Amino acid sequence: MTDELRSAGGEHSTTDSEQEEPPLLTKEEAIAEVKKWFERYKIDPNQIFARAGDQIVRYGDLIPHLEQETGEGRVLLRAISRGRVIRKQRGFPGAMGGDQK
């Protein structure tokens, strides 16, 4: 089964699974976003950001992962990019990367 559907007029339409991913931020933009989290929310670098099985990623590990473009860094870059789009769509402050409070 394909994700592509034909409409009655013979035109192609796509399902939700084919919708484009949000544009990725640059590595520098993502690092700036993480730094903003540290400043705005006074996050302890030793605080756990994510845990999957035996693997633990702490907030203090985020910038090095982004800088070194590790697998975790690439996943983080996608998540930060998607989060920014969602905040913009929902009208949350700071969604455009500004420092609104």
Over the chain, what HEC string results?
CCCEEECCCCCEEECHHHCCCCCCCCHHHHHHHHHHHHHHHCCCCCCEEEEECCEEEEHHHHHHHHHHCCHHHHHHHHHHHHHHHHHHHHCCCCCCCCCCC
Domain regions of the chain by residue span: 24-90
Residues 9-36 have pLDDT tens digits of: 555 444 454 467 789 999 999 999 999 9
77-91: per-residue pLDDT in tens? 999 999 999 988 898
